[in-house]
Amino acid sequence: MPEFLGPVKGFGVTFRQMFKKVDTVEYPEVKRDTEPRFHGRHQLNRWPDGLEKCIGCELCAWACPADAIYVEGGDNSPGERYSPGERYGSVYQINYLRCILCGLCVEACPTRALTMTNEYEIADDSRENLIWTKEQLLAPLEEGMEQPPHPMRLGKTERDYYSRGAGGPGPGREAEPEDGADEDGTEAANWAPGAGKADR
């Protein structure tokens, strides 16, 4: 191509762009849906009776490459139960100043307590507000759920509990009477790692 046509070719690129459909989104007035597997903010899930799935094991914190998660475990007692099993997450924080939304914490969680939502509007101009607490991260109570602490209400044994919670009827499923629940945790061995993964 002759040298003098170089600028013309350059302007040609500019003109072609001028007539292409603009991909600008008028955010925040217009919000596009994310892809289903988009990594948004986290959520701490519940069992269908409202108990928390988090057992305070800290595996998510150890898996996090950005050191963004802080967990303190607490002991459940027959009179004050927050999760099925022996332990629950008494303190749970995610620091969104550090989090890179990689999802490794979700992969590490043995009970599927921790998942990621499609919500991406987590920006803030306060450092304090970007440290999300357990109360902010916990999934809301759905119909049929009860605010912990309370006994396990899905079936008479722990096996019943986990199989109903994983594959039984959805939220709002029938509640068992308190006296049927296994409160001393002796049947914990019945629990299969990964129970509950079906309702991810």
Question: What are the tokens at 68?
Answer: 């963004």
Which residues have a Cβ under 8 Å from the Cβ of 150 and sit 6 or more positions away?
49, 50, 51, 81
Question: Do residues 43 and 135 lie in contact, with contact meaning Cβ atoms separated by under 8 Å?
Answer: no
Q: How far apart are CA 129 and CA 124, in angstroms?
A: 7
The smaller minimum CB distance to ligand SF4, of residues 11 and 62, is found at 62
Place of tokens 């759920």: 145
Strand ranges inside the chain, DSSP E: 42-44, 69-75, 87-95, 114-116, 131-133
Interface with ligand SF4 (CB under 6 A): 54-60, 63-64, 66, 68-69, 71, 89, 94, 99-105, 108-109, 111, 113-114
CB of 102 to ligand SF4, least distance (A): 4
Closer residue to ligand SF4 (CB): 63 or 175: 63
Nearer to ligand SF4, 99 or 154 (CB): 99
Q: Bridge-partner residues for 74, per DSSP? A: 88
Smallest separation (angstroms) from ligand SF4 to the CB of 67: 8
Closest CB to ligand SF4 among residues 82, 154: 82
Considering beta carbons, is residue 89 or 148 the nearer one to ligand SF4?
89
* Tokens of residue 179, six digits: 């006296």
Min dist CB 57 to ligand SF4, Å, is: 4
Q: How far is the CB of 34 from ligand SF4 (least distance, A)?
A: 15
Q: Which is nearer to ligand SF4, 51 or 64 (CB)?
A: 64
Least distance (Å) from ligand SF4 to the CB of residue 16?
A: 40
d(CA 155, CA 151): 11
Listed residue (199, 149, 200) closest to 178, CA to CA: 149
Question: Dihedral, CA atoms, 25, 26, 27, 29, nearest 10 degrees?
Answer: -130
Tell me the closest approach of the beta carbon of residue 45 to ligand SF4, in angstroms.
Answer: 9
